Structure 1
């Protein structure tokens, strides 16, 4: 079995260019470095170094090992650091932002999960543009945001955004609508709704509305946006009253809605990607990286539970 000291010796020789310099870097004797490298070569069954009078360099086999060794050493160092950090932290408060539908569905799970680890959440519920701005200014440690295919969020360098969920967009129709009998709405059927009255979000830059409007614009049509509201219950109520049609994320459909038919749209553009965005540890400064990683892990677990409970994401 490989010894972490073998990987440390390999990394040091690559960085310093010789076994002697690697020994100084590590604070070991040169025979100790040689010992670990020779044991590594025995495990691999091939030389990992080319030694010359001017120093040493890694063989192709050594370079392959180095790539894996750096990953292993980084994870090992992080594990020790995280454990040490958590043993000294006590309780930590993290600033976490989310949009409304994720707050209703995911936030209770996340708060409960990280609470068991001594992490308290200071939650903020806002629209996506405000959340992006807060993350960019380091006013939040992490935020849940969303976008749709083809629309990038304006994160500053140093912000990492990781996908945690793919949320299909559903067409909301009143019961009895001519398209309500279809199990799935294809693009041609969707475009047949060009003369309907639509409900869009309050913000003119809403990502979901943009993909809808752009789809119709590409077919040469501008939609009649009759109502603007950020409340999905308003959308459902007005759709049931046959006043509008609209698009609603599946995550926001938590119960049966009388008078409403929700249908998936058979087009890859009609899905929103939910991301968890965090500042880099260097930018986050005072916030413990281990605590932020635990928060991100809880978010992933929360959405994994949603997938199991609601079926696979489209």
Structure 2
């Protein structure tokens, strides 16, 4: 057992941003947030049709990682876990980009699989809602992928990652500027339902969840758009997303340009362009799995990593979340690269 809390930094390289979250971990207590540092990298929009991330975005990524490392050092972070999700993980030039980041910053980015993302996010939701949630279904829409998980325990029995991210579908299936015609929306709906129907057969055969949970910025913003309390109300206010409310908003979103979408409740300017695709995926999940409502969970992937490390601390185990780790010193901190 450690003498005091462990200060852990988690650096998440996503489709839109590089987000460093620092928290103090003390067994018996939830992760205690210390600071959050976020930088725009816009990897998804800088990826061409061949899956290659462009040079300007690589420069933004390097600058963001440098900023995160400096912030982690200033905050006396003891362990730093840097990883990339689908936008970089699935890029055709991911190894070249990761090598450039390593050469410029000393940070070796790792790559979480989609299934592992689903499992860690489920862990976070299970801790948030507790055992009273019973058998639980989790949905998480990212920029490049949709994660789904189902189970009655601390970890899910089923964990899936599907290529139904809001950014990916926007680039591949929607026009560059609204309005989006009804026939285009129908085609995207059909695609989403086709992928979901085939992939979720195992989930459909499981006991009906006592609680269906959604997490991620996309679901949170859709819930706010449909009337959920603002973020300022705090994380403990209950928030829901109802299928009937979402269904009414989709044709409205399809008509609005990005700048008008960004003026809607909860919709951030950085995500306005992809909010329609996110809404279509969210509706598809609820339709295919027969869900009328999703409960919004404020904890997600990063909290899942914090909680996993907390379990290790409570049991006196060293970091072992990932199959391989290459620790290196970073101004006195351990840098645990996910591989």
TM over 0.5, yes or no?
Answer: no
TM-score if structure 1 supplies the norm length? 0.26
Return the index of the structure with the highest Cα Rg.
1
